[in-house]
Copies of this chain bind each other. A is one copy, B any other.
Amino acid sequence: MNTKSPTEPKFRRRAEARPDEVLDAALSLFTEKGYARTTVDQVAKRAGFSKGTVYLYFASKEAILEGLVQRTVEPIAEAAFETMTDYRGDPRPVLAQFLRAMAQALADSKTRAVVMIILQEAPAAPNISALFRKAVLGRALPAVTALLAQGVAGGHIRAIDPELTARSVLGPVIGHLLLSEIFRIRPEGGLQMDRLVENHLTLLFAGLEPDTGGAP
């Protein structure tokens, strides 16, 4: 990530830009070594100034993490979820739209990195967990569940459990992300989140097809 060319003047005097510079530096370091193993001094150094300055803009190390999550998660959360809530009809087109949007968001490596940091730190940092739950999960899961329930009720899809099926809709994307980011296990040629989603959608849509009495 950036880090600014070494020819920059020593004093920059642009207080408004500082918080974002801290967050950028923190993101790259947290990604490399994890939150716990990164020191505030390292963050400051990478951002191009000293530790004291960091504390002019963030109250604590954890506040940096919170800022990072907020900056990444909020715009994504705002962009979605409204279409789904009152939809009536076959849920599949909406699911496709949703999963493709998700794939697109996760195509950005910064977003991916923040999501990974959240997954790693959430168990030990309750406010991070709460933030993500409130902004993303608490909205996405009920939306998908309601969409599926409505589809079942209307006979558009097979009679499955909507709440559990929501996991079958979203799980593969999360699993793919984890395999790739944590264990470096990914298809030849990179993450290919798009291809994963398309493959998943064919399978999922066929699976959701109402049972018309086919033979197993």
Count copies of this chain in the complex.
2
B183 engages A172 (CB within 8 Å): no
Interface range on chain A (Cβ under 8 Å from partner): 35 or more
Residue of B nearest to A186 (CB): B163
A165 engages B203 (CB within 8 Å): yes
For A36, what are the chain B residues with a Cβ–Cβ distance below 8 Å? 34, 36-37, 124
Interface of A is mostly: helix
Q: How far is the CB of A13 from chain B (nearest CB, A)?
A: 36
A199 engages B120 (CB within 8 Å): no
Residue of B nearest to A35 (CB): B36
For A165, what are the chain B residues with a Cβ–Cβ distance below 8 Å? 199-200, 203
B123 engages A181 (CB within 8 Å): yes
Mark A residues whose CB is within 8 Å of B: 33-34, 36-37, 116, 119-120, 122-124, 129, 132-133, 137, 141, 158, 160-161, 163-165, 167-168, 170-176, 178-179, 181-185, 187, 192, 195-196, 199-200, 202-209, 211-212, 214-216
B185 engages A133 (CB within 8 Å): yes
Known contacts A123-B34, A161-B195: A167-B181 contact under CB 8 Å = no
Residue contacts A-B, CB under 8 angstroms, 23 given:
A34-B123, A36-B124, A37-B124, A119-B119, A119-B120, A119-B182, A129-B182, A137-B183, A137-B185, A141-B179, A158-B202, A160-B202, A160-B203, A161-B199, A164-B187, A167-B175, A168-B172, A170-B175, A171-B171, A171-B174, A203-B207, A204-B207, A205-B216
Bound CA span A164–B164, Å:
21
Bound CA span A185–B132, Å:
12
